[in-house]
Amino acid sequence: MKAILKMVALAALLSPQIASAQSSEKIGETEATYRTLLALIDEMVGNGLLTRARADALIARARQGAAVQLAQQAPAPSASPPVAAPSTTARQEGAVSRRAIEMEPPRQGIEFAARQPDVPADLKVDWSRGAPVFTSRNGAFSFKPRGRILADVQTTNGSNADARNITTSTLRQFRVGAQGTIGANLFYQFETDFRRNQTEVVNTFVGYRKRFGEVEADVRAGSLLTDRGIDVATAAQSNPFITLNVNSLALAPNGGIFLMGLAGRASGPNWHASVAVHGDRIDADTGRNDNRILLARAHWNPVVWTNGAMHLGGWIYDEAMPGRNATVTVNTLMAGAISGNVRVDSAELTGVDGSSAFGAELGIFRGPLYAYGEYGERRLERGPAATFGDATYKATSISGGWWITGETVPYQTRSGTMIAPRVTKPMMGDGGGWGALELVGRYEHVDYSDVPSGGTGTTWTLGLNWHLTNYFRLMADYSRWQTGNVIGVAPGRDTGDTLSARAEVSF
């Protein structure tokens, strides 16, 4: 950083003092470099990486050092014919030029660079979103690296089955990727998960977007997240709980949460609607036909306040499994995502021809408080070779929370999901605070009793999230669960307690 400041000071001194030794083109280059470097320094000040007072002090010190260095490097004067003394007017102009540089007021960072057509600021960098966002000066191109680390630990006790009373840990997600724009309409994103020594391509797509007044519309193709409710459509780093709710997991189509597909989406200030056609996962067998899934979701905010909104929403899909004797196993984790032993089980079903599902959403988000619920059902359709009748199962979840430190719930009306919070006193920057605290609670229930050998399960969860910054948080969830399985690890009625914790950083 000091090297940058010295470069600024050197450019500042060179501009007025060696004009007679340079061409007008080089003078312009020096002045442009000086202004560009000052703009970059002011951007660091604006992003909290450097205080204004510190920047001014270092610039002043660097200018003094550069002046001394120039004086030391200047060649000794040689004998020359007498030259007439400069006129009073010339001396005054030189003094004014030097004072103009020494007394130049602080710049306004990137805004200043944008207002100056002579500044070759080909690249703008914004650190306000956790990672650098690189944008071309004309805004035609942008690029932002993405990443996520979720380190989890979980312990369970109180179960009748020893296989459930274990303590385990894992790197739940180590995700890297990037997103960007090309021109005013084209955009892209790619993400890869590295977990349990395996690699999985997740949200990876290309798209085209267009704005029509207040309506934003886009179409995208690739490996896409299935838009099926508040919880599953909310990114993991924005979800109030360590694990997705049972609706997101139990009601997923046979391929899972991320599927290849083509999706169209439109949104307004208080609504959104999406329609998609999906196939299989990106790593599915390409020697046969894909499943075919038609999926739609919409939400509407009938009431919008300055600090929140009411939420009404729903989704529906139809899944076909053509040309195969499909096998479906229905089971859902009930206490965290690490140990697979605390779950509700059912028998493996063969001869499944397809499935259909729907879900309903209701919520209220206002100020530091929020509550939302989701209900859904999935119906498995039997094929000619099936040995079971049509089977339907249900999932319910009710979630709520309170930002103890007073932050506004990070709910986005254009998507009907939670987004990254705005921590009032983050643990960074000058005189940083201690972050934000969020208290959360959730009730969940799944019922597989209509499925052959299907069980039931209920979980109550209480959690506390400590957001050190907008992108770094520590989480702890305590869950009291009960399962009633017919088959599996713990047949019969079983109860237990699970404590989960997570350290998370995302950008």
Query: Is the separation of the CB atoms in 179 and 144 below 8 Å?
Result: yes
- Residue of higher predicted confidence among 284 and 412: 412
- Pick the range with the lowest mean pLDDT from 95-109, 236-250, 439-453, 482-496: 95-109
Averaged over 340-367, what is the pLDDT? 94
Q: Report the range out of 87-91, 289-293, 308-312, 448-452 with the highest average pLDDT.
A: 308-312
> Which DSSP category does 344 fall into?
E
* Whole-angstrom distance, CA of residue 134 vs CA of residue 123: 7
Residues 6+ apart with CB under 8 A from 233: 225, 227, 297, 415, 416, 417
* Whole-angstrom distance, CA of residue 346 vs CA of residue 344: 7
Task: At 194, list the tokens.
Answer: 């590295």
Which band of pLDDT confidence, cut at 50, 70 and 90, is reported for residue 297? very high
> In the predicted model, is pLDDT for residue 54 greater than 80?
no
What pLDDT, on the 0 to 100 scale, is given for residue 68?
53
Query: Is the separation of the CB atoms in 475 and 326 below 8 Å?
Result: no
- Residue of higher predicted confidence among 326 and 433: 433
Averaged over 303-316, what is the pLDDT? 98
* Whole-angstrom distance, CA of residue 60 vs CA of residue 66: 10
What pLDDT, on the 0 to 100 scale, is given for residue 76?
52
Give, in order, the Cα–Cα distances in Å from 85 to each of 22, 78, 82, 91, 343: 22, 17, 9, 10, 94
* Whole-angstrom distance, CA of residue 504 vs CA of residue 240: 12
Strand, coil or helix: 236:
coil
Strand, coil or helix: 90:
helix
Which band of pLDDT confidence, cut at 50, 70 and 90, is reported for residue 384? confident
DSSP string, 142-164: EEEEEEEEEEEEEEEES-SSTTT
Distance of CA 90 to the CA centre of its chain: 59
Superfamily of domain 126-506: Porin (2.40.160.10)
Instruction: Return the percent helix, strand and coil in the chain, to nearest 5.
Output: 20, 45, 35
* Whole-angstrom distance, CA of residue 19 vs CA of residue 6: 20
* Whole-angstrom distance, CA of residue 379 vs CA of residue 253: 11
Which band of pLDDT confidence, cut at 50, 70 and 90, is reported for residue 24? very low
What pLDDT, on the 0 to 100 scale, is given for residue 211?
97
* Whole-angstrom distance, CA of residue 374 vs CA of residue 366: 18
pLDDT in tens, 248-262: 999 999 888 999 999
What pLDDT, on the 0 to 100 scale, is given for residue 286?
81
Averaged over 11-33, what is the pLDDT? 45
Give, in order, the Cα–Cα distances in Å from 234 to each of 227, 288, 492, 497: 9, 32, 34, 26
Give, in order, the Cα–Cα distances in Å from 154 to each of 168, 220, 334, 502: 6, 37, 13, 9
Which band of pLDDT confidence, cut at 50, 70 and 90, is reported for residue 372? very high
Task: At 361, list the tokens.
Answer: 């959403």
Averaged confidence pLDDT in the chain: 83
* Count of residues in the chain: 507
Could you give the count of Cα atoms lying within 13 Å of 105 in the half-sphere of its Cβ?
2
> In the predicted model, is pLDDT for residue 415 greater than 90?
yes
Residue 236: left (phi > 0), alpha (psi -120 to 50), or beta? alpha
Could you give the count of Cα atoms lying within 13 Å of 428 in the half-sphere of its Cβ?
15
Instruction: Sketch the domain layout of the chain as residue ranges.
Output: 2-76+89-119, 126-506
CB atoms inside a 10 Å sphere around CB 115: 9
- 68 membership: H or E segment, kind and range: helix 52-73
Locus of tokens 């030029």:
97
What pLDDT, on the 0 to 100 scale, is given for residue 33?
54
